[in-house]
Amino acid sequence: MAKYIPLVKTECELYIDEESTLIKLSPNDIKNDNNNICNISPTNSLNVNNLNINEDIPSKYPDNIIQNCIKKWSISTKPPDVSFLVNIIPQNVIEENTKKISTDTFKSISNSSFKRKPTITDCVENKYLIDITARLQYGEEKGFKSRLQEYFLVNYKSSLRIRTFNFLIKVLSCILYCVRVLNDEGNLYDKKNNYNFSEYHDLFWVDRSHTLWILQTIVAFFSIINTIIYFIITYKGSIIRLLLNIHFLLELVTSFPLVVSVFLKTGREIYVPIFLNCWLANGILNAILNDINRVSNVKHSAVSRQYIILLSTLICLVFTGTCAIEHLQRAGKNKLDLFTSFYFIIVTFSTVGYGDVIVDTKITRLIVVSLIVAAIIIIPSKVETLAQTYLEHKRTGVDCTQGFTQGDKHVVVTITHFEADFLQNFLTEFYAHREHQGFIVVLLSPAELDDKTKLLLKIPLWSQHVVYIRGSALKDEDLERAKLSTAVACFILSARHINNKVITDEHTILRSWAVKDFAQHVPQYVHIFRPETKLHIEYAEVIICEDEFKYSLLGNNAIVPGLSTFITLLFHTSRGEEGQKSQEPWHKIFGFHSGNEIYDIRVGDSRFFGDYIGKSFVYASFYAHKSFGVCLIAVESSDGEIKLNPGNRHILEVDDRVFYIALTNEESLSNFKKDINKQRRNMNKTLSIAQPKKIIDYDEIEKQTQINQQKIKLKKTLLQKAKAITTFKLESPQTVRNSSSTEIPNIDKVTGYDEPSSDEEEDFLKDDDDYLRNEIIKTYPPVTVYIGTAPVVCHMLKKQRPICCLQIAEPCEHCNFKTAIEYNFPSKAIIVAVDKTSSGLYNLIIPLRAYYRPVEELHPIILLLELKDTQTPNPAFLDAISWFPMIYWMHGKISNLENLLKAGVCNANSIIVIKEGYTNVEEHLADCSTIITVQKIHRMFPSLRVITELTHASNMRFMQFDAYNFYALQQSKIEKREKKRGSQMPFMFRLPFAQGNVFSANMLDRLLYQALVKKYLIKFTRLLLGIEQTTGSGYLTSFIITHEDLWIKNYGRLFQKLCSSCSDIPIGIYRTKKMDLKAINIQLEKNKYDEFCSKNDTNQNNFYRENLSRVVAEGMKHLGITCDEYEFGHEEKDKLSYVIINPSHDMEIEEGDIIYIIRAPVKESAPSKIINPKRGLIKRPTQLSKEINVLSNYASQYNEEKK
C-alpha cells in the first residue's frame, strides 16, 4: 500500500510514489479511495527513461516530485539517481526557480538563456538541486529583516558580540551618571534672595558639564538605535505589546530624554534617571550567559549562573537605592553624597539601621520602603532558585573540567552503585601505596550517594583527594566531566547488589566499551563476575574475574587448610600493627606476620638477592631468608613468564625479576642496615611472645657472630699449619654449633646444585591400587565450559563417562548405588553445595585435578545443586565434568539432612557452601539463610570442616556462633579496638576467619586495587591457585608436622632441610593451639569465667547434642547407611587455629603444624605416584666429619690463646 501523486492526465495516469518511482496505471487498475491509496501491481511499473512525458505539466507537480526525491536522497546512502528529473522538470519551472540563484551560478548553468534544458551534470556541478533543496527546506530567500534576525538573534556568535557591546554601553552609562553626581555641587541657580523658590527644582535640573553631556548623549543614541532594531526584528504586529514592554519603557526613560535634549537649549541641564540602566544591563547579562553556554564548548555550571544572577540583582537593588536616595535628598535639608547614601542603603538592608544617617523627605522615605518591599519580593525567589539549583548540582557531583591543575594525576572509578564500606576499602587500599599519595580519585556513578557515603567523603583524610560526579560512563559528556582522557587509569567495577550477575557483566562490558571508545589510551582495570565475559574485554590492562578466583580459592582451601585466610592477608596492605595491643600471644603473632606482602625487584638492583647472581633459585631463597627474613618464591625471566619455585635448575641472572614475601619492600628501606635490624628486633619481640623460654637478642647474635668468625679464621690457620686438611668448607657459626652437637641431627648444606638425595628412595610410598591410575591420563580437558579457559593439564579420564553416571544419588544401568557411601571412595569426598550452577564451578575442579597432584590423593567432588526436581545442570557443563575422574552431582538442598546423608557428609573431608544468588532484603541480611544452615550442619556434625562464602565480611562473627563460648565473644572487643585504630581488616581475629573456614568474595577486590602498582599480582595469584600453569613452575601444597618430625626444631632448619633435600620452599604455617583461658580470666569476672568453664566441660551431657545425634542416626537407618559411618564427635572448643605468613628463622616448630610449601616443578610426563609430603624431613643419623675431629683437637689450644 502506498500513496501516489497524479502527474499527467492522459489515457493512462502516471503516479509517483513516496519512493519517487514512476508507475503507469490504466484506469481499470486503479481503485482509489478518499486518501488516494491504491494497490499497485509490480508489472505496471515503467522505466522512467522510456517515458514520453508531455511538456505541458502543471507547475504544482514538480515541487512535489522534487520534494519526494529529496526525501529519498536524504535517507539514502547511495548517490542520488536524478536522471529522470531531466524529462520531468519543465523548462519554465527551471527558469523560475533559478532566478534567485546568483548571477555567476545562473551564467554557469546556461549560456544560451535556457534555450536548452540544463543537463544533469550542469545541475549537480552548479549546485542547482542543492539550491532547490535549501528552498524547499528553509523557504524563500531571506530579506533585510530576516538577515537582521539572523545577525542579531539566530547567529549566536554575532548575537553574543552585540549583547556584550550593549552591556558595556549600559555599564558605561551608569559610570557616567556616578561621575556626574560626584561633580555636581548643586549651585545651578542663585537662591539667596528667592525664598519662595521650591527646593524640588533640584530634582529636575542638575549641573552637567558639556563634555559629560555629549558622552551621555552618544551612549543614549547607541542604546536607542539598538532598541529600535531589536523591536523591529521582533515586531509581531502588536503596538500594545511594545508599549507594555518594560525594556522599552526603561529605554524611553533613560535614553530618549538625552536624545531630545539635543534639540533643546537647556537640554544638558535636564535630569535623567540614567542609573536605571543597571536593570537593563541585568537583563542583557542573563542573555549573555545563555549565549556563552551556546558558544563555549565547556558547559558552565547552572549554579554559577544563578550565583551571577543573584549577585547582579543585589547590585542593581543597592545601586538603584543609592542613586535614588542621593538624588531625592537634594530636595531635603540633610543632603547626602553618593558614598553616604550607599552606606545608608547597606545598613538599612542588613539591619534596622543605626540612626546616624536619616532621610527627611517623604518621597525619599517612600522610596526606601519601596526598595525594602522589592527586596523582600525579589531576593527570596532568587535565593530559592539558587538553593534548588545548588542542591541539584550537589547531587550530580563536581565537574572536573576546571578543577584540576595541569600537574594533577587522577584515576576514574566507575560503578553503578557506591557503598560506604566498599568505598572505604578502595580508598584505604589505594592510598596505602606511596606512589598514590598525590593522586585524585574521581568517582563516577549514575546513582546518588547515600548519607553514610557522603559523611565518609567529608572526612578530611578523603575530602581533598576524592571527587564525586553523578553521571554515566556511557555518556561522553560525563566522561569529559571526569577528564577521563587525561586519567592515569580507569577502574570499572561491578556492583554486587544486582541479583543477576550476567546482567551486571553486560553493563560492565558496555561501560568498558564506552571508555575504550572515548579514550583508547587509558588503561582499564575491570572487575567482572563470570569468566565468559573476559572474551569481550580482552583489551583491558587487568581483568579480575571474581568467580575464577573465588571458586579456585575455595577448592584449594578444601585440601590446604586455612589457605583462604593466608591469601587474603598476603594480598592486603598492612603494617603488621594489628593485635599488638592485645594480651593474647596469638593475636600478636597473627597480626604481626599479616603485614607480609608480595613484592618484586630486579635482581641486579637488589641488596637482598644481588649477592646470589649465578646461584640457583633455591640457594638464594634459603640464604635470603636466613640473612634478611625475606622469602623468595617466584621469578620472571626474560621470556616474561612467572614461575613459582623453578627449583635448582634456574640460575639467577642480573635481569631476572624476582618475587618475594617480606614485611616491607626493599625500596622502602632508606637506611638498609638500620631498617633491617629494626625489623629483626620487632620479629624478636614477637618471637619472644610465641616462645617465652627463648628470648633472642639480635645484638648479642651479631657480636657472637663476629667472635665466631674470628674463631673460624683461627681454626683455618691451625688446620693449615697442621696440614690435616687441604681445603675446608664451613657454612656458618650456627651450622658449626649444630654439627658439633650430637643431640641435633645433621642437615645437608644448601649447595644450589641438583645432588642426589639418599631419601629419594623414600619419596614414593607403596601403591597397591592401580585401577584408577590405569583409567587416567595427563592431558588438557577436551571440553571446556566457557571460551577463554587457560590451558591447564589435568588428570583426565581416557574414556568419557556416561552422563547418567554423574548423578550420584540416582541409579542407572551402569551403576545401582544410591548414596555416596556405597561407592567406597579411596579418599574422603569434598561436598560443594551451591544454590545456582555457573561456569565458575569449573575453576573449583581444575586445581583439585591438576596433573601435579598424585592420583591417590584426588578427593571425590560431589556437587549438591539446589535445582528443581525436573531441572538439570547445563548439558555443556555436564559434558565437561564427565571427563574428570570422581566428580558427581545430585539434586538437593544443604538444609535437607537426607540430601546431606546421600552426599556422604558422614565421611566427607569438608563441605563448601557457596551462595550465588543475591536476595533483595536488607543489606547485611543477605547471608542469613547461609549462616543458619551452616550453623545447623555444624551442630549435627561438629567434626566436619565447613567452608563458607559470605557476601559481607562483617557477618563472619555469626559463623559457628555459640552464646556460651565467652572466648569467641571476647573477640568482638578486639575487633572494636582495631576499628578505632584504623585497621583495614578488624575482623581478622574472629575465630572462623583466622582458621580459614569463612571467606568473602569482596576481599578479592583488593587485588584489583593494587594492580595499578603491582601489575604482576593477578598473574601471580592465578599461578598460585592453579588457575593457570607455566612450564617449569612449582605448585602450592602442604604437609603436617607429626611428633616424629619435631627433631627439626625450628623453622630455619626446616627451611634448610626442604631446600637441600627436595628444593621445596616453605612460605607459612597453619598452627592450631589451645586457647589461653588465663587471658579470658583477666578480662572476665570470676563468675563468668566459672560459667565459661562449666559450659565447656566435655563430660557434661547436653540434651540438644543427644537429640541431634538421634535424628542423624535415624536418618541414616532410613537410607540404609550403617551407623558405624557416623561418629558424633564433640567440637574442641578449647582450640583455635591461625596462619603465620613467612615465619622467622628461629620460630619453633610444633606438633600439628601444617606447613605451606611451594614444591619444585613436576614434569607432566613424570609417573603419577604417591609422593611422601614429608620427603625432605626424613631423619638421618648424625655423622661427624674428619674436619670436626680435627677442630676438636685444636679446641684446647684455641681456648688457651684466648685466655
DSSP string, 1079-1115: HHHHHS-HHHHHHHHHHT-TTS--HHHHHHHHHHHHH
Are 889 and 863 in contact by the 8 Å Cβ rule? The answer is yes
Q: For the residues of 1177-1193, what is the DSSP string, one character each?
A: G--------HHHHHHHH
Distance CA 232, CA 254 (A): 20
Weakest-pLDDT range from 301-305, 333-337, 387-391, 558-562: 301-305
User: pLDDT tens digits, residue range 289-300?
Assistant: 877 766 654 455
Distance CA 25, CA 30 (A): 7
Distance CA 325, CA 317 (A): 12
User: What cell was used for 249?
Assistant: 519603557
Confidence (pLDDT) at 884 = 93
Weakest-pLDDT range from 956-970, 1025-1039, 1149-1163: 956-970
Are 781 and 1018 in contact by the 8 Å Cβ rule? The answer is no
- Give, as one character, the DSSP assignment of residue 205: B
Question: What residues contact 23, with CB distance under 8 A and at least 6 apart?
Answer: 4, 14, 15, 16, 17, 40, 44, 45, 46
Q: For the residues of 499-567, what is the DSSP string, one character each?
A: S-HHHHHHHHHHHHHHHHHH-TTS-EEEEES-GGGGGG-TTSSEEEEHHHHHHHHHHHHHHSTTHHHHH
- Give, as one character, the DSSP assignment of residue 154: I
Pairwise pLDDT comparison (1140 vs 974), residue with the higher score: 1140
Q: Give the confidence band of 642 by pLDDT, cuts at 50, 70, 90.
A: very high
Are 956 and 950 in contact by the 8 Å Cβ rule? The answer is yes
Weakest-pLDDT range from 112-116, 354-358, 827-831: 112-116
Angle at 742 between CA 738 and CA 745, to 5 degrees: 65
Confidence (pLDDT) at 113 = 41
Cα 497–chain centre separation: 15
Mean pLDDT along residues 7-36 = 41
Instruction: Burial-class residue 193 by CB neighbours within 10 Å (0-12, 13-18, 19+).
Output: exposed
Are 839 and 808 in contact by the 8 Å Cβ rule? The answer is no
Q: For the residues of 597-657, what is the DSSP string, one character each?
A: EEEEEEGGG-TTTGGGTTSBHHHHHHHHHHHHS-EEEEEE-TT--EEE---TTPBP-TT-E
CA dihedral 1056, 1062, 1068, 1074 (to 10 degrees): -90
Q: Give the confidence band of 1040 by pLDDT, cuts at 50, 70, 90.
A: very high
Pairwise pLDDT comparison (35 vs 542), residue with the higher score: 542
Q: What is the mean pLDDT of the chain?
A: 75
Are 890 and 810 in contact by the 8 Å Cβ rule? The answer is yes
User: How many CA atoms within 13 Å lie on the side-chain side of 220?
Assistant: 26
Q: Give the confidence band of 17 by pLDDT, cuts at 50, 70, 90.
A: very low
Cα 1012–chain centre separation: 12
Confidence (pLDDT) at 873 = 87
User: pLDDT tens digits, residue range 185-229?
Assistant: 655 544 444 444 456 677 888 888 888 888 989 998 988 888 888
Q: In the chain, pLDDT over 90 holds for what percent of residues?
A: 21
For residue 677, the surrounding DSSP H or E stretch is helix 672-690
The residue assigned the cell 561456569 is 839
Is pLDDT above 60 for 683? yes
Question: What residues contact 1167, with CB distance under 8 A and at least 6 apart?
Answer: none
Q: Given the DSSP bridges, would you call strands 631-636 and 657-662 parallel, antiparallel or unpaired?
A: antiparallel
Mean pLDDT along residues 586-595 = 88
Distance CA 104, CA 185 (A): 67
Weakest-pLDDT range from 103-107, 227-231, 642-646: 103-107
Weakest-pLDDT range from 320-329, 402-411, 970-979: 402-411
Question: What residues contact 621, with CB distance under 8 A and at least 6 apart?
Answer: 631, 632, 633, 645, 1059, 1065
Confidence (pLDDT) at 1068 = 94
Confidence (pLDDT) at 1037 = 93
User: What cell was used for 1166?
Assistant: 613424570
Long-range contacts of 210-214 (CB under 8 A, 24+ apart): 210/268, 212/176, 212/179, 212/180, 212/183, 213/258, 213/261, 213/267, 213/268
What is the set of domains in the chain, with CATH numbers? Answer: 2-141 (no CATH), 142-276 (no CATH), 301-395 (1.10.287.70), 408-540 (3.40.50.720)
User: How many CA atoms within 13 Å lie on the side-chain side of 493?
Assistant: 26
Pairwise pLDDT comparison (681 vs 666), residue with the higher score: 666
Confidence (pLDDT) at 761 = 39
Weakest-pLDDT range from 310-319, 710-719, 1153-1162: 710-719
Q: In sequence order, what are the beta bridge partners of 833?
A: 864, 913
Are 682 and 593 in contact by the 8 Å Cβ rule? The answer is no
Distance CA 903, CA 930 (A): 18
Mean pLDDT along residues 475-490 = 91
User: pLDDT tens digits, residue range 1107-1165?
Assistant: 777 888 888 888 877 766 565 555 566 788 999 999 988 889 999 999 999 999 887 76
Mean pLDDT along residues 548-563 = 93
Mean pLDDT along residues 1096-1111 = 64
User: pLDDT tens digits, residue range 144-185?
Assistant: 777 777 777 777 778 888 888 989 999 999 999 999 888 876
Give the Cβ contact number of residue 992 at 10 Å.
24
pTM: 0.71
Instruction: Burial-class residue 434 by CB neighbours within 10 Å (0-12, 13-18, 19+).
Output: exposed
Question: What residues contact 884, with CB distance under 8 A and at least 6 apart?
Answer: 781, 794, 795, 796, 797, 845, 849
Q: Give the confidence band of 726 by pLDDT, cuts at 50, 70, 90.
A: very low
Q: Give the confidence band of 691 by pLDDT, cuts at 50, 70, 90.
A: low
Are 711 and 1198 in contact by the 8 Å Cβ rule? The answer is yes
Weakest-pLDDT range from 206-210, 484-488, 797-801, 1178-1182: 1178-1182
C-alpha distances out from residue 869 to 722, 832, 890, 1031, 1054, Å: 88, 18, 10, 44, 53
Q: Which of 368-372, 500-504, 702-706, 1138-1142 has the highest mean pLDDT?
A: 1138-1142
Distance CA 271, CA 205 (A): 5
For residue 352, the surrounding DSSP H or E stretch is none
Confidence (pLDDT) at 64 = 52
Confidence (pLDDT) at 501 = 86
SS (H, E, C) 359-411: CCCHHHHHHHHHHHHHHHHHHHHHHHHHHHHHHHHHHHECCCCCCCCCCCEEE
Distance CA 930, CA 947 (A): 11
Distance CA 1043, CA 1181 (A): 17
Type of residue found at 204? F
Question: What residues contact 525, with CB distance under 8 A and at least 6 apart?
Answer: 489, 490, 491, 492, 540, 541, 542, 544, 1008, 1011, 1012
Distance CA 978, CA 993 (A): 15
Weakest-pLDDT range from 613-617, 628-632, 1000-1004: 1000-1004
Question: What residues contact 704, with CB distance under 8 A and at least 6 apart?
Answer: 733
Cα 748–chain centre separation: 50
φ, ψ of residue 913 in degrees (nearest 5): -110, 120
